[in-house]
């Protein structure tokens, strides 16, 4: 199975980012069980890739191309609607931490250093 041009890879046992089920399947380093890969995979992977591109633009600061920034922001808004706000928010928070750990750059401010994790309403 392939999603958004990404082949399924076998990885150490992890949790599906959508439902939390155990899975060894990843697409673009995103763990997805077969049911969620089939039902939501393309949207989730596209959202992941677009967030990564957005955070790289944030890190580029003033040198980032304004038209690319606007296009990426529009694409993020569309994908958040496609994925669903609640799931998109949960995924974004987890992926932001992972991005910060991988790059040592805060995805929110674009500066080197710790991730400035936003306060989350935990009702």
What does 5-68 look like in DSSP terms, one character per residue? TEE-EEEEEEE-TTT--EEEEEETTEE--HHHHHHHHHHHHHHHHHHHHHHHHHHHGGGS-HHH
pLDDT for 64-115, tens place per residue? 999 999 999 999 999 999 999 999 999 999 999 999 999 999 998 888 888 8
Top pLDDT among 27 and 120 is at 27
Q: How confident is the model at residue 123 (pLDDT cuts 50, 70, 90)?
A: very low
Spell out the domain ranges in the chain: 2-103
C-alpha span between 110 and 29 (Å, rounded): 22
């Amino acid at each position: 199975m392939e999603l958004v041009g990404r082949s399924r890879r076998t990885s150490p046992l992890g949790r599906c980012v959508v439902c939390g089920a155990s899975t060894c399947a990843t697409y673009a380093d995103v763990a997805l069980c077969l049911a969620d890969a089939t039902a939501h995979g393309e949207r989730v992977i596209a959202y992941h890739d677009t967030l990564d591109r957005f955070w790289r633009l944030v890190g580029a600061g003033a040198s980032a191309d304004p038209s690319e920034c606007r296009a990426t922001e529009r694409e993020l808004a569309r994908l958040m609607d496609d994925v669903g706000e609640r799931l998109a928010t949960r995924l974004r928070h987890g992926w932001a931490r992972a991005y910060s750990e991988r790059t040592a750059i805060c995805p929110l401010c674009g500066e080197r250093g710790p991730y400035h994790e936003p306060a989350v309403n935990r009702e």
